[in-house]
Amino acid sequence: MSWKNDQVSEKETERILELAQECLDISGDFVEMGCYKGDTSLLLAEIVKASEKKLWIYDSFEGLPEKSEADESVLGTNFKSGELLVTKREVKERFLRAELPVPVIKKAWFRDLTSEDLPEKIAFAFLDGDFYESIRDSIKLVAPRMDAGGVMVVHDYTNLALPGVKRAVDEWMQKGTPQFEVVLL
């Protein structure tokens, strides 16, 4: 499947897919928190389709949430509540058109998810929540379920227009070193 993603750069996508490929031998499923149109999801589904792993994707399917104070940036004025809205149906239809297995798709704000909504064990996680609370909530859910050899990728850590992502990750990292690899894009 060729690269196509309007939210994640080609270089970032290549790195995500390289890391995901390396996690095929790690115990657990693949998770994506914040799928938007499912561009990265489709590529991850291509990787896991020949394995026994499942892909789980999560999104509000209501667009971006409200920003918190931690997300305020003069560079990020175009990131407004409701932007980037795509329906769950649209994402599911993309999988059907691509003739890929439809992943487990959960429609919810990350703050409303519980540990029961996630797979028991996670080998690979891609967190793309854009804002402080979304990334903070994603980490709280995903980190305890990560396999020791797994990889958690956090998108927008270096994006100056989305400072809440860096803040959420930095606060979490101050609590201790995780037993899995964390890659910050």
- Could you read off the pLDDT of 111-129 as tens digits, one per residue? 999 999 999 999 999 999 9
Q: How confident is the model at residue 18 (pLDDT cuts 50, 70, 90)?
A: very high
pLDDT at 78: 75
Cβ neighbours for 9, distance < 8 A, ≥ 6 positions apart: none
Could you tell me where the beta strands, DSSP code E, fall in the chain? Answer: 29-33, 55-59, 104-107, 122-127, 146-154, 181-184
- pLDDT digits 0-9 by tens, 127-161: 999 999 999 999 999 999 999 999 999 999 999 99
What does the mean pLDDT of the chain come to? 94
CB atoms within 10 A of CB 49: 12
Answer with the residue of higher pLDDT: 4 or 18.
18
Domains and CATH numbers, the chain: 16-178 (3.40.50.150)
**Backbone φ and ψ of 128, nearest 5°:** -135, 65
Residue 3 has pLDDT above 60, yes or no: no
Q: How confident is the model at residue 4 (pLDDT cuts 50, 70, 90)?
A: low
Between the CA of residue 30 and those of 63, 70, 90, 102, what are the distances in Å? 22, 28, 21, 13
Answer with the residue of higher pLDDT: 67 or 58.
58
Q: Identify the weakest region by mean pLDDT among 45-49, 57-61, 73-77, 129-133.
A: 73-77
Residue 6 has pLDDT above 70, yes or no: no
